[in-house]
Structure 1
Amino acid sequence: MNPDEYCQHKAAQSGSSFYYSFLFLPSERRRAITALYAFCREVDDIVDGVNEASVARMKLAWWRGQVEQMFNGSPDHPVAIALQPHLEPCRLRPDPFYAIIEGMEMDLDQFRYADWEALRQYCWRAAGVVGDLSASIFGYTDPRTLEYAETLGLAFQMTNIIRDVGDDARRGRIYLPADEMAQHGVTVDDILDGRYTDGFTALMRQQTLRARMLYRDAMRLLPAADRRAQRPGLMMAAIYHTLLDEIERDGWHVLNQRIALTPIRKFWLAWKVWVGGGQGLVRRLAA
């Protein structure tokens, strides 16, 4: 299995919504974004799959070395090898890669977030910088496109947080602002015990509104000149925003189940954006 095949297998195996947007790209950009996604999966799997925090930190430190070698030398890992040829053509910078690793390290050290500003910093490292790198791979002419992409990454991360409240809590992590939990009278025990109180519903409505505002802000930031090139991100936006709609329609029953879209629906949403150029989606989410 060569490095590109390794990354392809890693991406397909995950079943993520991101995978569907890769299918429509030209081959060179598809290889680049698939390698980036495989990088994110590699470092994320360390945090989720390694029980000893000290071991996880050592593994993440090793990945820091791989990033350095990607930009300055000869990397060893298949993912880093696959990424290296795309660094210069796609104008990729090392800092966002380091920020992704820092986000993973936050998961080893921090299990609660005092307020939205603290959570936003985590979301930026976990997803905002991924948006930055992705937009560079898709191609852009206006620097504002990177701001759009980072904001869209925050929207995706908030959607994931809302979807995974129960699962994350069982792993010992609660990605909800503690001050807002207190405001609505929601405790950690409420979440762990699966109690759907009026306060929990109000808390989830607040998080959903925040996510929708991030989608809106992202769409308003996207320059028209780069809209066509950024269609893969818009395809992901169509999938994630539809998922957010489904979660709200279900009454935010996310403590004991994981709400998801079917693969055929994800493909259909992605295809509609690709064919339509994303114009309708941008207008709808920006309203």
Structure 2
Amino acid sequence: MEDTAQILRTELRQNDGDLYLCHLFVPTAHRFRMLALYTGYAEIARVPAQVNEPMVGAIRLQWWRDNLEVGADPAISSPVAAALSSCEFPADDIARLIDARMPALERSEPSDLASLEAEATLAGPAFMRLSLAALHQDARALPSWVDDAGIGFELVRLAHLGNTDSVMTRAQTLLGAARAGFNGLARQERAAILPAFLITGLTARFARRWPRQDLLLRHQFRLLVSALRGRI
């Protein structure tokens, strides 16, 4: 498993630095599950940007569906798909991560806020539920701000595909609600789910400071502070 984990860490560090940093704060018992989820998420999310033809992208997304629906064979599948499949995450939420990338394959011009939020609403809440599942926590026990966290997270990542300022403003609102909800929990409740929400805090800060950007060292320091304080 350690060899696979090293492959996944390398992939994630290259494809999504923020998720890579956040996975480092996951307890050892759950870290491989979160690493598999984050790496799979990043790989699937990149598909539309990697292709020039919608059909090619659709084929790649179907490859992910086929591998994750029937269980990836480690002998012939990619290490990422095999690891994600081995974690036995809820199939419906995995499918949502894949389906949410379909609209981007046909996008030929900037999207309006409503369209981008529809995409974010398909992928974001599923991503948060899966993140909680990686910790063996049940998202159904938490309020609707969990969905806000996921939608806001996705909107920030989709903002360049539309009117960036309006998308970021909407993301700020959603992420602010998620932060307030999380930070309002009792300390023990926060501690149990904090690793899944570190990315929420990191993304919320990015959205608040837009269009300014923190230096990488400050970005990393803010994440460390959140992890130590137990607040986002």
Contact 2:33 2:134 survives alignment (8 Å)? yes
The residue type paired with residue 146 of structure 2 is A
Distance 2:26 2:13 in 1: 15
Distance 1:98 1:277 in 2: 31
* Structure 1 partner of 2:205: 242
Contact 2:67 2:81 survives alignment (8 Å)? yes
Contact 1:128 1:153 survives alignment (8 Å)? yes
- The answer to whether the aligner puts 1:274 opposite 2:227 as a matched pair is yes
SS in 2 for 1:230: helix
> Which deviates more from structure 2 when the two are superposed, residues 32-41 or residues 1-10?
1-10
- The answer to whether the aligner puts 1:264 opposite 2:227 as a matched pair is no
The residue type paired with residue 83 of structure 1 is L
Identity over the aligned pairs, expressed in percent?
20
* Structure 2 partner of 1:175: 162
Task: Report matched runs for 1:1-287 at 5 Å.
Answer: 2-70=3-71, 74=73, 76-87=77-88, 92-111=89-108, 112-113=110-111, 116=114, 118-140=115-137, 143-145=140-142, 147-162=144-159, 165=160, 174-176=161-163, 204=165, 206-222=166-182, 223-224=185-186, 226-248=189-211, 250=212, 260-278=213-231, 281=232
Distance 2:205 2:198 in 1: 11
> Which deviates more from structure 2 when the two are superposed, residues 263-272 or residues 1-10?
1-10
The residue type paired with residue 215 of structure 2 is T
Contact 1:22 1:33 survives alignment (8 Å)? yes
Aligned residues: CA RMSD: 2.6
Using the size of structure 1 for normalisation, the TM-score is: 0.69
Distance 1:34 1:139 in 2: 14
The residue type paired with residue 22 of structure 2 is S
The alpha-carbon deviation at position 128 of structure 1 amounts to 2.7
Distance 2:73 2:221 in 1: 40
Distance 1:58 1:25 in 2: 33
SS in 2 for 1:17: helix
Question: Any idea what the Cα deviations from partners look like across 1:208-228, whole Å, max 9, x if unmatched?
Answer: 442222123323544545311
Structure 2 unmatched runs, 5+? none
Contact 2:116 2:155 survives alignment (8 Å)? no
The residue type paired with residue 178 of structure 2 is A
Larger Rg, first or second structure (1 or 2): 1
Distance 1:38 1:67 in 2: 14
The alpha-carbon deviation at position 115 of structure 1 amounts to 5.2
Q: Do the aligned partners of residues 277 and 114 (structure 1) sit closer, same or farther apart at CA in structure 2, a change above 3 Å counting? A: closer
The alpha-carbon deviation at position 23 of structure 1 amounts to 1.0
Structure number with greater CO (CA < 8 Å, separation at least 6) is 1
Contact 2:26 2:34 survives alignment (8 Å)? no
Contact 1:35 1:82 survives alignment (8 Å)? yes
The alpha-carbon deviation at position 133 of structure 1 amounts to 0.6
- Which runs of 4 or more aligned residues in structure 1 lie more than 6 Å from their structure 2 counterparts after TM superposition? none
Contact 1:235 1:269 survives alignment (8 Å)? no
Q: Do the aligned partners of residues 269 and 78 (structure 1) sit closer, same or farther apart at CA in structure 2, a change above 3 Å counting? A: same
Distance 2:125 2:67 in 1: 21
SS in 2 for 1:140: coil
